[in-house]
Amino acid sequence: MTKILIVDDERDVELLFRQKFRKEVRSGLLELAFAFSGDEALKLLDSEHPPEVVYVFSDINMPGMTGLELLDRVKSQFPAINVSMISAYGDTENFKKAMESGAKEFFTKPIDFDSLRKEIGRVINQ
């Protein structure tokens, strides 16, 4: 089973991801975890040794710790975990920063769940 962590300060994102990946979760392929801030995400990752999460999808624009700051922290503390960024804006500056900091992928909202599903499939089949 592959565990992924979705980090977004908008709580309705949890319902959306649970709907879109219902089949994968039911069949035991995926386990979804949610955090609603960067701090909460780091606490969750720190609580498991080693972390069970193999992929983090984080929103960039969040109050407190931004997604880019979270990306830096995850990459330094847990280099094996893939991190992709999600932004409401397809701005090139954030895209560049994210990719330079080691992001695997960059998605813009509304999320293209077909692309996201393919990305998760690549991680599962590594």
Residues paired with residue 3 on neighbouring β-strands, in sequence order:
31, 53
- pTM of the entire predicted model: 0.94
Q: Which residues contact 104 (CB under 8 A, 6 or more apart)?
A: 82, 83, 84, 119
pLDDT (0 to 100) of residue 121:
87
pLDDT (0 to 100) of residue 1:
83
Contact 98, 85 (CB under 8 A): yes
Give dist(CA 50, CA 105) in Å, integer: 23
Q: pLDDT for 114-123, tens place per residue?
A: 999 999 888 7
Average pLDDT over residues 107-112: 91
Q: pLDDT for 36-91, tens place per residue?
A: 999 999 999 999 888 899 999 999 999 999 999 999 999 999 999 999 999 987 78
Residue 125 pLDDT > 80? no
pLDDT (0 to 100) of residue 9:
96
pLDDT (0 to 100) of residue 49:
85
pLDDT (0 to 100) of residue 123:
79
Task: State whether CATH 3.90.550.10 applies to domain 2-91.
Answer: no
Domain boundaries, the chain: 2-91
Contact 18, 47 (CB under 8 A): no
Give dist(CA 103, CA 118) in Å, integer: 16
